[in-house]
Amino acid sequence: MATDPIHQFQISRIVPIEVGSLDVSFTNSSLFMVATVAAVTLFLVLATRGRGLVPTRLQSMAEISYEFVANMLRDAAGTEGMRFFPLVFSLFMFVLFANLFGMFPYFFTVMSHLIVTFALAMLVIGTVVIYGFMRHGLKFLGLFVPHGVPGYLIPLVTVIEIISFLSRPISLSIRLFANMLAGHITLKVFAGFVVSLSALGAVGIGGAILPLAMTIALTALEFLVAFLQAYVFAVLTCMYLNDAIHPGH
Amino acid sequence: MARHYGAAEFNGGLAGSSGLRVSNKAPVTGSLAAGSVLAREMQLSGSETPPGVPEKAGPETADDGAERLSRLEAELGKRRRPEPSEEKAGERPQGWGFVVRVSSDFVAGILVGAGVGYLLDHFAGTGPWGLIVFLLLGFAAGVINVMRTLGMVAEPEKRNVPRDGSQQ
């Protein structure tokens, strides 16, 4: 069990709840989502409580994260995009904290399940589509018809563009999920080598140094990935929102 | 077609460093209290002046706060514009992340194409043809996705609108 690298992703029911035939149990995944939200809320509330003109360390951390997301959104979607700031900021903080939580030993990595990342991606794309139609009406469909394409190619290009658009939530979710899953499995496999090698006696313990070093390096890399994937998720959200705000002509 | 599917802008990477600094030379310092967030933004991103110490406010001391705020916003907007979307410049060197990124773009296109084709066949009963055709189209969409990720094909909105900053 200790060396099974997949075991860490198992969902277990903590409070079994059944609504009809639907299983809506409170699982360990739900528990860590709640913990993530609580941690983000606690961090931001505590950090902004002082509201000093000269920020404390905690407050400047909150301000940096605000600045970071605000600049990202403004670059990608312009000043108009700032109305989506709450969405993007929540997504970024949620993914970031969930990923960082996953770095604790014995903690569950929420983002290593495709359904979670897919739900987040669908939220983004749903926002893009609904807002795009609300604001531009049918002109939003112009996103799929590039200008300057010869007439006989328009149907083909349009279909390809639509498929390309539909593939966005999938690629968005696969990317986040695959990164978290692969990273944690690799980490676990190398850590497992340390255990099984050191069972071989003195030579084994000597040999176990190599995978141990690898595990340490991978842990550092995983912290980078945890941040980077939250960033990538937020950046792509911004770019897709930009499509909803400025869908070409 | 060639013109509109042309390469996306890549010159942005250099402009970034200069654009990032909302400098302390901006003529808008008195309004720290009024526009707290915007003012704090300036303070965070470059000004070496200790916060709360007003610099010389210049000839505009008599202006009311609102007007100065709007001017601040315009000024900030002007300075922010040249920043590139960091994504393309910043994303490239990450080995593993980049691999996952490109491959997920490609795979997603094919998956969606196959899915659409399968559903079409299932509901319209068009034999294997929907799957065949949409799998190929999905392949094309995957290639377009990858080329967009690599910056070889412009994003849909940039293709149509010349990005001269006039979109707001």
One-letter amino acid of B45: S
How close B36 gets to chain A, by Cα (Å)?
Answer: 9
Specify the pLDDT at position B142.
Answer: 92
Q: Which residues of B26-65 are buried (b: 16+ CB within 10 A; e: fewer)?
A: bebbbbbeebeebbbbbbbeebeeeeeeeeeeeeeeeeee
pLDDT tens-digit map of A61-81: 899 999 999 998 988 888 888
For residue A200, the enclosing domain spans 7-245
> How many domains does chain A fold into?
1
> What one-letter code names the amino acid at A76?
A
Q: Does B49 touch chain A (CB under 8 A)?
A: no
Could you tell me the two tokens for A154?
């328009």
Confidence check: pLDDT of B49 > 60: no
Element (H, E) at A89: helix A85-101
pLDDT at B61: 54
Q: Do residues B87 and A218 touch, judged by C-beta distance below 8 A?
A: no
Helix (H) or strand (E) holding A27: strand A26-27
Task: State the smallest CA–CA distance between residue B60 and chain A in angstroms.
Answer: 23
CA separation for the pair A87, A112 (Å, rounded): 21
A150-199 pLDDT per residue, tens: 788 888 888 888 898 889 899 889 888 988 898 899 998 888 888 888 88
Q: Average pLDDT for residues A49-66, to the nearest whole number?
A: 86
Residues A13 and A126: their CA atoms lie apart, in Å, by 29
* Structure ipTM: 0.71
Find the helix packing angle between B129-149 and B95-124, rounded to 10°: 160
- What is the token pair recorded at A216? 């340490």
Q: How confident is the model at residue A56 (pLDDT cuts 50, 70, 90)?
A: confident
Mapped onto helix, strand or coil, the DSSP state of residue A13 is strand
Residue among B3, B40, B144 whose CB faces A63 most closely: B40
Tell me if A88 is assigned to some domain.
yes
Check A167 against B111: CB less than 8 A apart: yes
B11 touches chain A (CB under 8 A): no
Least confidently predicted of B15-19, B126-130, B158-162: B15-19
Q: Does B151 touch chain A (CB under 8 A)?
A: no
Instruction: Kindly state whether residue A1 falls inside one of the protein's structural domains.
Output: no
What's the mean pLDDT in B91-107?
73
Summarize the confidence of residues A239-249 as an average pLDDT: 77
Quick check: B88 pLDDT over 50? Answer: no
Which residues pair with residue A27 across a beta bridge?
A13
Give Cα A46 to chain centroid, integer Å: 24
In a domain, A123, yes or no: yes
